[in-house]
């Protein structure tokens, strides 16, 4: 069985996330998603999420491409995860190009092109702009 892993926050789940998960799953038989915990997002990534870890986990578990959701607690856990879950392929968006090449010693590393017209940051910015326009 070919195992694939990807990492992310997956807040305000959108079709760009679904595209990434679908393409990641197509690279293997079993897709693991390491989901950033609330603490990791606020303290390390300096991100504020709309949905809690548990809510984001429920959303991901409902997606047919996702076989397992595990917590991402820190930047350093990737090698351990790859070894523990016997991962064949690590997948992440190409905005991280080159950043995870150190994993090539343990598995295949694939940087997938992002869906260009959508991002959580963009959604948050547009919501903020439109919120002020209400009559």
Residues in the chain, overall count = 135
Options 45, 86, 99, 104, the catalytic residue = 45
Strand pairing class (3-8; 68-72): unpaired
Q: Active-site residue 86, yes or no?
A: no
Q: Active-site residue 47, yes or no?
A: yes
Question: What order of strands is seen across the sheet that includes strand 30-36?
Answer: 68-72, 30-36, 3-8, 89-93, 108-112
Residues taking part in catalysis:
45, 47
């Amino acid at each position: 069985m070919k195992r694939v892993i990807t990492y992310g926050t997956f807040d305000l789940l959108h079709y760009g996330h679904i595209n990434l998960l679908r393409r990641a799953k197509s690279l293997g038989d079993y897709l693991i998603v390491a989901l950033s915990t609330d603490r990791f997002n606020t303290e390390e990534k300096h991100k504020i999420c709309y949905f809690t870890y548990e809510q984001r986990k429920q959303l991901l578990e409902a997606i047919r491409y996702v076989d397992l959701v595990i917590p991402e607690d820190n930047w350093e856990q990737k090698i351990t995860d790859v070894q523990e879950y016997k991962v064949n392929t690590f997948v992440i968006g190409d905005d991280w190009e080159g950043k995870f090449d150190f994993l090539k010693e343990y598995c295949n590393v694939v940087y997938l092109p992002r869906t260009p017209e959508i991002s959580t940051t963009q959604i948050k910015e547009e919501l903020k702009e439109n919120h002020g326009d209400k009559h």
